[in-house]
């Protein structure tokens, strides 16, 4: 990880804090589509059926260091901003082939039938709505370095 990328901001999700209110989905769809439609949210909360903490998991864009969606795009509609690290889709360039949807390990981009283009998290230009409105602070903006530490602790048990 380079110095520049380790200081870039990413969104992390802490399943121990999530209450499953799905407010992040509400505000995301409201910000980007002007309506409350959870299926149009760029962040998605999954329920694994367990009880207690850890029952929820968020699917949100990690703005990868080497994004596979960018390399998969045949029309160069996806671009990674080297300075901020955000991966964004240019809807005017997108031809709707859905390669990014299939190749993303988390299936973060999804195909918007109305726009006939793939859409994904754009980090709300630095102040993500989902993070702002997450009352239990399960979604947080941290640096990539901190995110790596947190995810190692959460998913691999490394402290």
Partner 1 sequence: MTGVDIVNLLEKGMADKSVKCSVTEERRVSVEIKADDLKEGISILLEACKPRFITLSAVDNGLDVELMYHFSVDSIVVTLRTSIPKETSQVETMTDIVPAAEFIEREVSELFGISFEGHPRTTNLVLPDDWPAEEKPLSKPFAGNLPPQARGEVENLLSSGCAQVILEYFTEMRERAGLPKLPSIACASEESLREFQELIRRTGFDKRAGFDWEKSKLRYR
Q: Does 132 bind partner 1 (CB under 8 A)?
A: yes
Give the residue with the Cβ less far from partner 1, 99 or 130: 130
The count of other CB atoms within 10 Å of the CB of residue 132 is 13
**Judged by CB under 8 A, does residue 142 bind partner 1?**
no
139 binds partner 1 (CB under 8 A): no
Q: Which helix (H) or strand (E) holds 10?
A: strand 9-13
Considering only 3-11, 47-55, 82-90, 132-140, which stretch makes contact with partner 1 by CB under 8 A? 132-140
Site string for partner 1, 13-42 (x = CB under 8 A): ------x---x--xx--x------------
Which is closer to partner 1, CB of 26 or CB of 154? Answer: 26
CB 15 within 8 A of CB 140: no
Residue with tokens 């864009």, as numbered in its chain: 61
Query: In whole angstroms, what is the distance from residue 138 CA to residue 134 CA?
Result: 7
Question: What is the distance, to the nearest Å, from the Cα of residue 119 to the centroid of all Cα atoms in its chain?
Answer: 11
Least distance (Å) between residue 17 CB and partner 1: 8
Phi, psi values for residue 94, rounded to 5°: -65, 130
Distance between CA atoms of 134 and 28, rounded to whole angstroms? Answer: 11
Of these, 90, 135, 152, 153, which contacts partner 1 (CB under 8 A)?
135
Binding site for partner 1 (CB under 8 A): 19, 23, 26-27, 30, 132-137
């Amino acid at each position: 990880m380079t110095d520049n990328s380790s200081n870039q901001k990413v969104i992390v999700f802490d399943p121990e804090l999530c209450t499953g209110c799905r407010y992040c989905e509400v505000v995301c769809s409201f910000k980007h589509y002007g309506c409350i439609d959870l299926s149009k949210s760029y962040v998605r909360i999954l329920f694994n059926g367990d009880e207690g903490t850890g029952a929820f998991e968020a699917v949100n864009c990690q703005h990868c260091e080497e994004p596979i969606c960018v390399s998969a795009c045949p029309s160069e509609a996806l671009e990674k901003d080297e300075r901020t690290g955000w991966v964004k889709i240019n809807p005017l360039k997108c031809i709707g082939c859905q390669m990014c949807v299939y190749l993303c390990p988390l299936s973060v981009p999804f195909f918007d039938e109305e726009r006939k283009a793939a859409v994904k998290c754009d980090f709300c230009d630095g102040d993500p709505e989902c993070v702002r409105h997450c009352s239990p602070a399960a979604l947080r903006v941290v640096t990539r370095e901190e995110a790596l530490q947190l995810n190692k602790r959460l998913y691999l048990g490394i402290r």
